Structure 1
Amino acid sequence: MKPVVSAMKAWSCTVMSVFAIIILTVLGVLFRSGHEELVGGIDDPADGKAVSKTVFSAVFVYIAFFVFCGLQGLLHIRENRRGAISL
């Protein structure tokens, strides 16, 4: 199986996805717990649990990106071990 994206794009996407998963998970947990800084003001959302569901759905999208891009990176490693020339 051949990689779809370049090695640099695959590894960049993988690293950014890890950071996005960590940051969005922390935000989702804070919204779910009703942290005062996030749901305590006048302009802030009243229903933190609904917001956390949306944030966690974005986390699942980034998990899919992480899996896809990580597999693409691993395909590049496997292809380089076979002696293929990359242009």
Structure 2
Amino acid sequence: MKPVVSIMHAWSCIVISVFAIVILSVLGALFNANHHSLMDSNDDPEDGTVVAGTAFAAVGVYGFFLVFCGLQAWLHARESRRGAIAL
């Protein structure tokens, strides 16, 4: 199987996905607990659990990106070990 994206794009996607998963998980947990720093203003959402569900759905999407880009990086590493010529 050949990689679809370049190695630089794969590693960039991995780094961005890890940061997004961490940040969105923390925000989702805070909204799920109706934390006062996120829920006390007049402009804030009424139901924190709905917002938390959306944040956790985004975590799932970034998790898929992480798996896909990790597979692409692994394919690049496997290809370079076999002595393939990179152009």
Unaligned 5+ segments in structure 1 are none
Alignment of 1:11-30 (within 5 A): 11-30=11-30
Alignment of 1:1-87 (within 5 A): 1-87=1-87
Q: Give the Å deviation of 1:57.
A: 0.3
Structure 2 Cα separation of the partners of residues 86 and 70 of structure 1: 19
Structure 2 Cα separation of the partners of residues 8 and 85 of structure 1: 17
Q: Give the Å deviation of 1:4.
A: 0.1
Tell me the amino acid that sits aligned with residue 46 of structure 1. E
Q: Give the Å deviation of 1:51.
A: 0.4
TM-score of the superposition, structure 1-length normalised? Answer: 0.98
CA RMSD in angstroms comes to: 0.4
Q: Give the Å deviation of 1:37.
A: 1.1
Unaligned 5+ segments in structure 2 are none
What's the CA shift string for 1:15-63, capped at 9, x where partnerless? 1100000000000000000011111110000100000000000000000
Q: Give the Å deviation of 1:86.
A: 1.1
Identity rate, percent: 63
**Moved >2 Å (runs of 4+):** none
Q: Give the Å deviation of 1:85.
A: 0.8
